[in-house]
Each structure stands twice: as C-alpha cells, then as structure tokens.
C-alpha cells in the first residue's frame, strides 16, 4: 500500500497531515527517507516518523468498562457514545462496539475494527457466555433459578435458552436481591425482560465477563485497555 495510507491507517494523522510529514522529510522506510506519498510499503517494512517506529497493526481490540449514560453506538447527534470515550488516536477507522449494552448498563464492552471477530463473538451458534451482576427489586429464589434454567418464554413469545442464575444475596425486608446471571444469547433488553417476566425489576446491571474475558477489578468506569486477539480468543 502507499506510505500515506499506511500512516493514516495507523492514525499518525489524516492523509493531509501525513503528506506534510513526508514533505518535512521525517518519514523513512527501512532507513531511507520517503520522498513521495505514493511510495509503496509492505506491512513488514520498518517505517519511522522522526525516528519513532510505526508498526503496522491492522486490527485493534479495546476492553472498555462502560459507564452509565453512554450509548453503545458509533455516533449520535446529542448523546455520548462509547467511541467518544476512546482517546482520539485510538479511534481507528471501523471501530465498533461488539454488541450492545443498554444506556444504563455498565461493565465489559469490547470495541474492535476486526469484523470477523465481531461476527464470531455475536453469532448465536457460537455460544459465547456472558455473565452479568445485578441488583433486583424483588426476592429471587430457587423457583426463579428453576424458571430461568428451564429456558423461559417472554411475554412477546420469544423463547430463550436456559440461563444460569446464582443468588448472591436476598433481603426479604427490603424486597431486593443481588444476583449473577449467565446467558448465551444477547436479545434486546434480555435480562430486564427476563426479570420482568417473573414480576421483578432490574435496578442495576453490570456485565462482568464475556467469553474468556473478565472485567478487571481495577479498571474504572469509562476507562479502557488495549488487548491482543489471543486475549479474547485462544
Ligand atoms: N440485558 C439487558 O437487559 N440489558 C443489557 O444491557 C444487557 C443484557
């Protein structure tokens, strides 16, 4: 590919900015100063800007601890999106959230420009487990566990696969519970609708794991870290 495309893809700057860097004579390929933005480079070439290496990495993977009040979308006219939480240099072309968390849901959300991985994690037949922790208005008990384990049918006729519910705490006096739930699907408002179907309400919802990924305890809401592909899928 052309050197200007290479550098723009690696977010060194826009094509225009990259042309200026080349004009300044500070871009080199394998130690030789680049004279024209049309120069061809391979991913294996050693590219430097001002002596700093710019390695080619096509795909990027970010694990975000999504805060409340942010949309799982790439852009929106009036509301902040998960992409706006990325530093400008990390907003690579084609970066999208892998699936969605509701605006008021927090926790683990993967962002990537690797379309193949995105598809593999979301495809219903791939069975990627997602674990959520929630505060519930209502007392979840063994009956609720059985109902969820049997694979329930929602009010609109949607048939769900079995879900694993673990009760962490019950407070009968205040009519609340804390639970963990493992699901494989990712249907619209799935967990809220599941509890709704048994007469309870989700008050707080956080995703704590997806596949082999776990939300790091020290990753604050709104913060993210970069991962490598084999952190996500081995
Ligand atoms: N289920 C929900 O109801 N909301 C989410 O954000 C994720 C799962």
Q: What is the DSSP letter of 27?
A: E
| Residue 127, pLDDT above cutoff 90 | no
> Backbone dihedral region of 199: left (phi > 0), alpha (psi from -120 to 50 degrees) or beta?
left
Per-residue model confidence (pLDDT) at position 234: 74
Residue nearest to atom 3 of ligand 1 (CA): 189
Q: Which of 125, 105, 98 is nearest to 208 (CA)?
A: 105
Per-residue model confidence (pLDDT) at position 124: 74
Ligand 1 mutation target, pool 190, 194, 203, most atoms within 8 A of CB = 190
Q: Annotated catalytic, 102? A: yes
| Residue 17, pLDDT above cutoff 90 | yes
Residue nearest to atom 4 of ligand 1 (CA): 189
Domains contained in the chain, CATH given: 3-53 (3.10.290.10), 61-124+213-232 (3.30.70.580), 129-210 (3.30.70.1560)
Q: How far is the CA of 102 from the centre of ligand 1 (A)?
A: 6
Residues enclosing ligand 1, CB less than 6 A? 101-102, 105, 189-192, 205
| pTM for this predicted structure | 0.87
One DSSP character per residue, 54-111 reads -------EEEEEEPTT-BSSS--SSS-BGGGGS-GGG--TT-EESS---TT-EEEEEE
Per-residue model confidence (pLDDT) at position 157: 92
Given 102, 104, 114, 156, which residue is catalytic? 102
Per-residue model confidence (pLDDT) at position 210: 96
Ligand 1 mutation target, pool 69, 129, 205, most atoms within 8 A of CB = 205
Q: What is the pLDDT of residues 151-200, one digit of tens each?
A: 999 989 999 999 999 999 999 999 999 999 999 998 999 999 999 999 99
Per-residue model confidence (pLDDT) at position 89: 86
């Amino acid at each position: 590919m052309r050197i200007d495309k290479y550098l723009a893809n690696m977010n060194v700057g826009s094509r225009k900015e990259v042309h200026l860097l080349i004009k300044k004579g500070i871009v080199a390929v394998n130690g030789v100063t680049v004279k024209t933005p049309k120069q061809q480079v391979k991913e294996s070439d050693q590219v430097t800007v001002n002596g700093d290496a710019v390695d080619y990495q096509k795909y990027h993977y970010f694990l975000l601890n999504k805060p409340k009040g942010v949309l799982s979308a790439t852009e929106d006219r009036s509301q902040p999106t998960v992409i706006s939480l990325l530093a400008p240099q990390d907003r690579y072309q084609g970066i999208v959230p892998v699936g969605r968390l509701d605006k008021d849901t927090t926790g683990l959300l993967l962002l990537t420009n690797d379309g193949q991985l995105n598809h593999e994690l979301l495809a219903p037949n791939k069975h990627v487990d997602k674990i959520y922790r929630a505060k519930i208005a209502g007392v979840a008990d063994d009956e609720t566990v059985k109902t969820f384990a049997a694979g329930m049918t929602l009010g609109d006729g949607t048939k769900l696969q079995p879900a694993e519910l673990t009760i962490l705490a019950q407070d009968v006096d205040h009519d609340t519970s804390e639970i963990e739930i493992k699901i494989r699907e990712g249907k619209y408002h799935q967990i809220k609708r599941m509890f709704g179907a048994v007469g309870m309400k989700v008050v707080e919802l956080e995703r704590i794991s997806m596949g082999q990924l776990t939300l790091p305890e020290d990753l604050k809401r709104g913060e993210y870290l970069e991962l490598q592909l084999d952190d996500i899928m081995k």
